[in-house]
């Protein structure tokens, strides 16, 4: 079964000062099998965020989008209205944002923020608190009760990222999308967070799309790598294939940058 199947995705943006639209994704294909961890690796500006937004249905209003196939768990997303898309996304996609502090409202205790996806699903207060405390324990947060009533600035970056992961998995999503989930953290913590995602993949179970500029971090955990450059996938394969025999010049550059 395929968790996510995208074939020949094009995304362009209309710009007020230009007649021709800006083509940002050009013929991108991405297939994620159930339980697979797929990394999309590319430098800043290559189109990674645009790809994530296309999948989560949150492209900006100036975007135009077309694809030959665009399905999540076998459901054709192209035929859905925005609101139907939002419902599907809420139930099936968990999203871990890049910067923990941007993902967490500073004036609301993190426990309440982590309960939000469950609240939106109509889970009652006592039950969602219980579930979130269990999830905090699961993602390795010490003293979940204390964390629950803390504000983001009272926790370390790694702890905030664990809170966001707990929130993202609380609805048991079929697909977890992690957008540079470790770039704001130091190297040891980065590795721990990625290892946690790998463990959760087996436990939930779910598939994971890991988006990053760091080829070195991705190759240790992903089953498959896609290298994206200027809106095109320039190379795809297993980490071993790509690292041992990169076919594309851009991949070779990324490899040099990550060693």
Interacting residues toward ligand ADP by CB under 6 A: 13, 15, 22, 24, 42, 44-50, 60, 62
When the beta carbons of 12 and 190 are compared against ligand ADP, the nearer one is: 12
Smallest distance from ligand ADP to CB 164, Å = 18
Euclidean distance between CA atoms 163 and 111, whole angstroms:
8
Euclidean distance between CA atoms 132 and 116, whole angstroms:
10
Smallest distance from ligand ADP to CB 246, Å = 19
Euclidean distance between CA atoms 87 and 93, whole angstroms:
10
When the beta carbons of 47 and 117 are compared against ligand ADP, the nearer one is: 47
Q: What is the DSSP letter of 76?
A: E
Neighbours of 128 (CB within 10 A): 21
When the beta carbons of 66 and 199 are compared against ligand ADP, the nearer one is: 66
When the beta carbons of 31 and 213 are compared against ligand ADP, the nearer one is: 213
When the beta carbons of 43 and 116 are compared against ligand ADP, the nearer one is: 43
Written as six digits, the tokens of 84 are 């139907």
Smallest distance from ligand ADP to CB 47, Å = 4
Which residue from 139, 184, 188, 190 is spatially nearest to 163, judged by alpha carbons?
139
Smallest distance from ligand ADP to CB 7, Å = 19
Smallest distance from ligand ADP to CB 129, Å = 35
Q: Between β-strands 232-237 and 63-66, what pairing exists: parallel, antiparallel or unpaired? A: unpaired
């Amino acid at each position: 079964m395929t968790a996510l199947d995208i074939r020949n995705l094009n995304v362009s943006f209309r710009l007020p000062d230009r007649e021709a639209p800006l083509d940002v994704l050009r013929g991108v294909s991405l297939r994620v099998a159930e339980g697979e961890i797929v990394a999309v690796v590319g430098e800043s500006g290559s189109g990674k965020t645009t790809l994530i937004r296309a999948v989560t249905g949150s492209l900006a209003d100036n975007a135009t989008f077309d694809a030959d196939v665009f399905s999540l768990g076998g459901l054709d997303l192209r035929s859905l209205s925005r609101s139907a898309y939002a419902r599907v996304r809420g139930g099936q996609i968990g999203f871990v944002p890049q910067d923990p502090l941007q993902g967490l409202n500073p004036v609301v205790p993190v426990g309440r923020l982590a309960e939000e996806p469950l609240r939106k699903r109509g889970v009652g207060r006592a039950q969602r608190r219980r579930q979130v405390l269990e999830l905090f324990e699961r993602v390795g947060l010490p003293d979940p009760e204390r964390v629950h009533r803390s504000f983001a600035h009272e926790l370390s970056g790694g702890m905030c990222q664990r809170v966001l992961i707990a929130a993202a998995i609380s609805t048991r999503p079929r697909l977890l999308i992690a957008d540079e989930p470790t770039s704001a953290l130091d190297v040891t913590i980065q590795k721990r967070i990625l290892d946690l995602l790998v463990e959760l993949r087996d436990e939930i179970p779910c598939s994971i799309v890991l988006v990053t500029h760091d080829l070195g971090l991705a190759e240790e955990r992903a089953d498959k790598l896609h290298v994206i450059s200027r809106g095109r996938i320039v190379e795809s394969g297993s980490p071993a294939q790509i690292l041992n025999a990169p076919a594309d010049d851009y991949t070779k550059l990324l490899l040099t940058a990550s060693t």
